[in-house]
Amino acid sequence: MSPFVVTLAIEDDAQTRFDAERRRLFPRTQVGAHVTLFHAVPGEVDVVPALRSAADRPRFEVRVSEVMGLGRGVAYRLESAELGRVHAELRQVWSWHLTPQDAQGFRPHVTVQNKVAPELARRTMAELSAEFAPYAVGAVGLDLWRYEGGPWSHVERWSFG
């Protein structure tokens, strides 16, 4: 069974802005901009109870704190103590099912460029950093996706608050 991807759902205007930037900088992308909490939860795991529980909290803000380089891409670093708590709660519940990538430290970000030459990534980072000022976006829920080798298929959203 295909694995699940779990992402943070953000307010629509922020999602639209990140999606547009990702399409401009990474045109061959197969999925929209996203904040991945878990990359590959085994598809056999019943994830619904944990996601329902984790979403049982008020909406909160996430700070878009800086432009960060990924070597062959660029992302926006995100900061939020509440998001860290959501991730830790889910990681504890699913600990024995997680891949090494998902079990390691959580560094939330939105990738807007990926799989490009390092020089292009450096130029993009300089361009985005020149006009960047930190700002906040609203976190509105948790999304569950099925990874099927290319584009993801949306399974369900659990809204905060």
CATH number at residue 12: 3.90.1140.10
CB-side neighbour CA atoms (13 Å) of 41: 24
pLDDT at residue 155 above 90? yes
SS3 of 103-142: the string is: HCCCCCEEEEECCCCHHHHHHHHHHHHHCCCCEEEEEEEE
Structure confidence at residue 150 as a pLDDT band (50, 70, 90)? confident
Contact 144, 6 (CB under 8 A): yes
Model-level pTM? Answer: 0.94
Q: Which range marks the domain in which residue 109 is found?
A: 4-159
The radius of gyration of the chain from alpha carbons, rounded to an integer in Å, stands at: 16
pLDDT at residue 29 above 90? no
Quote the percentage of the chain above a pLDDT of 70.
100
Q: How many domains does the chain have?
A: 1
pLDDT in tens, 116-130: 999 999 999 999 999
DSSP assignment of 1-25 = -PPEEEEEEE-HHHHHHHHHHHHHH
